[in-house]
């Protein structure tokens, strides 16, 4: 009986090997298709991430540009104020000189001070 049992085991092993190789060869196409699907999903995710990175970069660059532009405008405005202040000081100084040159313009001097 041992020989009969050994023979049966050998036949079952052969059948399982044949079944396994047949199944793996039949599944090869399915595995390839599955890997393609998974790869395409991965690439879609990567492409979307790259698009988002590009959008974030452009948004950041626009923010930096706006900040620079606003700083430049503030600088320009302060320069204009300085020019107006110096012009007013010159006008004030000339009025003061003219009023002090004439003693009669005491009202103007009092008004300016």
Q: Which residues contact 106 (CB under 8 A, 6 or more apart)?
A: 99
Per-residue model confidence as pLDDT tens digits over 40-76: 899 999 999 999 999 999 999 999 999 999 999 999 9
Question: For residue 113, what pLDDT band results from cuts at 50, 70 and 90?
Answer: low
Helix residue ranges per DSSP H, the chain: 2-101, 106-112
Q: Which residues contact 99 (CB under 8 A, 6 or more apart)?
A: 105, 106, 108, 109, 112
Query: Which pLDDT value is given to residue 71?
Result: 96
What is the average pLDDT score of the chain? 81
Q: How many CA atoms within 13 Å lie on the side-chain side of 41?
A: 6
Domain that residue 61 falls in: 2-112
Question: Which of 112, 110, 68 lies closest to 88, judged by CA?
Answer: 112
Question: For residue 14, what pLDDT band results from cuts at 50, 70 and 90?
Answer: low
Query: Which pLDDT value is given to residue 31?
Result: 76
Counting the structural domains of the chain, the total is 1
């Amino acid at each position: 009986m041992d020989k009969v049992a050994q023979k049966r085991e050998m036949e079952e092993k052969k059948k399982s090997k044949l079944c396994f190789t047949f199944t793996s060869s039949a599944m090869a196409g399915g595995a390839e298709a599955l890997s393609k699907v998974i790869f395409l999903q991965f690439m879609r995710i990567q492409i979307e991430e790259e698009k988002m990175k590009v959008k974030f970069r452009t948004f950041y660059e626009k923010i930096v540009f706006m900040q620079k532009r606003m700083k430049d405008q503030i600088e320009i405005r302060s320069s204009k104020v300085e020019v107006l202040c110096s012009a007013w000081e010159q006008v004030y100084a000339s009025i003061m000189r003219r009023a002090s040159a004439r003693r009669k313009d005491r009202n103007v001097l009092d008004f300016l001070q």
